[in-house]
Amino acid sequence: QVQVAESGGGLVQAGGSLRLSCVVSGDTFSVYRMGWFRQAPGKEREFVAAISWNVGSTYVPSSVKGRFTVSRDNAKNTLYLQMNSLKAEDTADYYCAASRGGNLYFIASYEYWGQGTQVTVSS
């Protein structure tokens, strides 16, 4: 059974940085395309970043472009999200997810999800 576990969340001041990690176990990590989503209180879950299985392509929305960087280490079964220049509006629970196919911007394309890690940015 595939398991996904995020870590690295916490409290940070506006303008600061955090790096989230996500470890996948129970299957071959490299066959999955991976994504990050976030959900703020009272809001819908939204796409934050994604990366192809071979690290050839990355995808980020305009809201975080230039501030967030997604990467992966297939040898360590680990996905990363480097978040710089954090803003109060980045406060949310961040989720890692694994996908075998489909549009990476869509929640429905992901089969496996972690429990989330909380990121709080104080202004």
**Residue 72: its pLDDT value, please?**
95
pLDDT over 90, % of the chain:
89
How many whole angstroms from its chain centre is CA 30? Answer: 16
Average pLDDT of the segment spanning 79-87: 98
How many whole angstroms from its chain centre is CA 101? Answer: 17
Confidence band, pLDDT 50/70/90 cuts, at residue 31: confident
Task: Specify the residue for token string 């992901």.
Answer: 110
Confidence band, pLDDT 50/70/90 cuts, at residue 107: very high
| DSSP-derived 3-state class of residue 31 | helix
- What kind and span of H or E run contains 22? strand 18-25
State the burial class of residue 107 (Cβ atoms within 10 Å of its Cβ: 0-12, 13-18, 19+): middle
The residue type found at 72 is: R
Highest mean pLDDT among 31-35, 36-40, 98-102: 36-40
- 90 pLDDT higher than 90: yes
**Residue 32: its pLDDT value, please?**
92
Q: 31-59 in b/e burial notation, b at 16+ Cβ within 10 A?
A: ebbbbbbbeeeeeebebbbbbebeeeeeb
Mean pLDDT rounded to a whole number for the chain: 95
Residues 59-73: pLDDT tens digits?
999 999 999 999 999
**Residue 54: its pLDDT value, please?**
79
